[in-house]
Amino acid sequence: MTIRTQLEDLSNEIFLDIFEYLDANDIFFGFTSLNLRISLLLNSIPLHVNIHRTYCRHELEFLCNHLKFHSDQVVSLQVHDQICDQTNVIVYLFHRHDFINLHSCIFYSINSSSKLKIVVEKLSKLPKIVLFRIIQSCNVKEDKLNTSDAFEFSQLILIDTPSTLRSTSLYFHYNHTQIATISKVTTNLTHLQIIFYGTLNDISIYSLIPLLRIHRALRTLCVTIKSTHVMGAYNTNLPNLPFINENDLPISSLLKSFDLQIVMAPCDIYSIGLILHCMPNLYQFVFTFIRDRSLSPFIMDLIHGQNWQEMLTSHVPYLKKFDFHISLLKFDQPLDFDDIVNSFRCLVNLYHQWDMCISRWEYWPNILFVYTDHIHMWTLNYNHLITRRENDIRSITMSDTFYMQSTNISNLNNRQLNFHHHKMDFFMPNDRTTLSIQLPTILPFQNITYIVCHLAYPEPSVIAFLQNATIRLKQILSLFTRDDDDSQKYFDNLSRLVNLSNVDTVEFSRNNDIRRLNVIERVL
């Protein structure tokens, strides 16, 4: 005889196990008002609120109606500030409820509001908060948190730090300059992720020094220094890094892991060394540097391995893991790749399974017939702790100019380019040939899903205007000409760089060279 077990027959322990896998809205929707026993259980369990961007207003109101009687049970909160049909969800939620037992709080994509101060005020009074994060877009234009609200959150977390707070992420664009005026604050913060964003007069790599002076209990630090300054190719009027008294540096003896990203801001081996001097017991260091203008002497120091060896062994003798990702452009002097790779061989035996690669490819910016090298350097085990800049350097990749070299030749065939964005502009001039250089067996650009194919020079408007008269003549003369060899070379060069099976979008740029239209057929 079959014995049927009904839901009401399950033990309290099984119900409690089930509730651990459900967020608050699912629990309220599925179990409210079943019977007195279940209602008593619901009054005793910790609740996890997760309001994601696919929510609708009626779901939010349903949740808030039940939180009137259960807000003191909420221990974790994850809220997207904009849902399908409503914005400022965070303000809406905190205006109605006090989450006095909140342990974990994560806000996504906050929209500034005059009522956000209510949220900050309530957060400051939470007696049990352990984890707090703000995650905005990595794209500055999509970050909707204004300067005033950014200051309030920065002040709360970095200076008026709750004594119970252990981990925080301030992933929004702000300069945090107020920390420079604070002499001493005792905090228990052990994990910090933060962006310093501003002009070169407000932020630099040395913005870390007052931060380390305040938060001496840190064990993990993840920092992005991102400048608003547009560095021209020949701009020599950049602000110099300020003078730092080496005898007055803070010491963060507990810090074990440090992830540093520099985006369009100056730094050199010396300044990095000063920061690392504050971390004598560091175990792991990850460095990312992105610069989209020409080389300068301080950048040349960063691509020489012996400089890194001297600096690292001097300041962080207990370091076991060192990885980097360096992406920059070169307009002028040629680089000796053999010299660069050989200079890094001194690190191969210094760190476990350490290996680095350097690649270059010619790209074409918006200046006619001015080609530039994109230099890309990375280590075998480079793995970012935070989301990197999605489009670090956009360019038109020239077809047969790709080159890669490694400190370990045997590993070269198992390497793919650490290329983080998914869109590539590709161009092959008529006089180019099929790639003849040795490439890794794994295609270098594995992540590309969107390709823009250029069939002719993307000519600046002035030159295009001057050439309009000859274009029509060229079209007439070449109307019935097909160059299958040219189209095959174009396809071969593209397929040796990109995994075409991953590509879901192909765009052909506007061009006036009708002789190469057969390339479209070949690529498709």
Segment 57-75 shows an average pLDDT of 94
Separation of alpha carbons 275 and 218, rounded Å: 14
Q: What is the pLDDT of residues 476-512, one digit of tens each?
A: 555 445 555 667 777 777 777 787 778 888 877 765 5
Nearest to 28 by CA among 16, 19, 15, 37: 19
Separation of alpha carbons 186 and 495, rounded Å: 57
3-state secondary structure of 19: helix
- Indicate the domain borders of the chain: 12-173, 418-523
Nearest to 375 by CA among 338, 332, 329, 406: 329
Both tokens of 92, joined, read: 């809406």
Residue type, 183: S
Segment 73-84 shows an average pLDDT of 96
Total count of residues recorded for the chain: 524
Query: Domain 12-173, what fold?
Result: 3.80.10
Confidence class of residue 400 from pLDDT cuts 50, 70 and 90? low
- Residue 233 or residue 174, greater confidence: 174
CB–CB of 250/213 below 8 Å? yes
Q: What is the pLDDT of residues 12-32, one digit of tens each?
A: 788 888 888 889 988 888 888
Least confident among 82-86, 159-163, 245-249, 452-456:
452-456
- Residue 39 pLDDT > 50: yes
Both tokens of 54, joined, read: 């696919």
Separation of alpha carbons 253 and 251, rounded Å: 6
- Residue 192 pLDDT > 80: yes
- Mean pLDDT across the chain: 81
Beta bridge partners of 171: 135
Separation of alpha carbons 374 and 363, rounded Å: 7
CB–CB of 88/111 below 8 Å? yes
- Residue 302 or residue 439, greater confidence: 302
Confidence class of residue 240 from pLDDT cuts 50, 70 and 90? low
For position 53, what pLDDT does the model report?
93
- Spatial neighbors of 248 by CB under 8 A, at least 6 apart, are none
Separation of alpha carbons 173 and 191, rounded Å: 19
Both tokens of 308, joined, read: 């890194």
CB–CB of 205/241 below 8 Å? yes
Both tokens of 265, joined, read: 């801001």
For position 296, what pLDDT does the model report?
64
Nearest to 315 by CA among 278, 347, 284: 278
Cα dihedral sign, 306-311-316-321:
negative
For position 503, what pLDDT does the model report?
83
| Angle, helices 24-31/57-67, rounded to nearest 10 degrees | 80
Beta bridge partners of 426: 397, 453
Least confident among 130-139, 216-225, 445-454:
445-454
E-assigned strand segments in 365-422:
372-379, 396-398, 403-406
Cα dihedral sign, 305-407-331-459:
negative
Segment 215-242 shows an average pLDDT of 74
Least confident among 88-97, 363-372, 452-461:
363-372
Q: What is the pLDDT of residues 133-157, one digit of tens each?
A: 999 998 888 999 999 999 999 999 9
For position 153, what pLDDT does the model report?
97
Least confident among 3-7, 50-54, 154-158, 234-238:
234-238
For position 345, what pLDDT does the model report?
94
Both tokens of 16, joined, read: 């409690």
pTM of the model: 0.83
Question: How does DSSP classify residue 5?
Answer: P
- Residue 208 or residue 473, greater confidence: 208
DSSP conformation letters of 229-241: ----TT---PPPP
- Spatial neighbors of 354 by CB under 8 A, at least 6 apart, are 322, 347, 348, 379, 380, 381
Nearest to 302 by CA among 325, 278, 331: 325
Separation of alpha carbons 474 and 496, rounded Å: 31
- Residue 454 pLDDT > 60: yes
Segment 129-135 shows an average pLDDT of 98
CB–CB of 217/166 below 8 Å? no
Both tokens of 408, joined, read: 């370990």
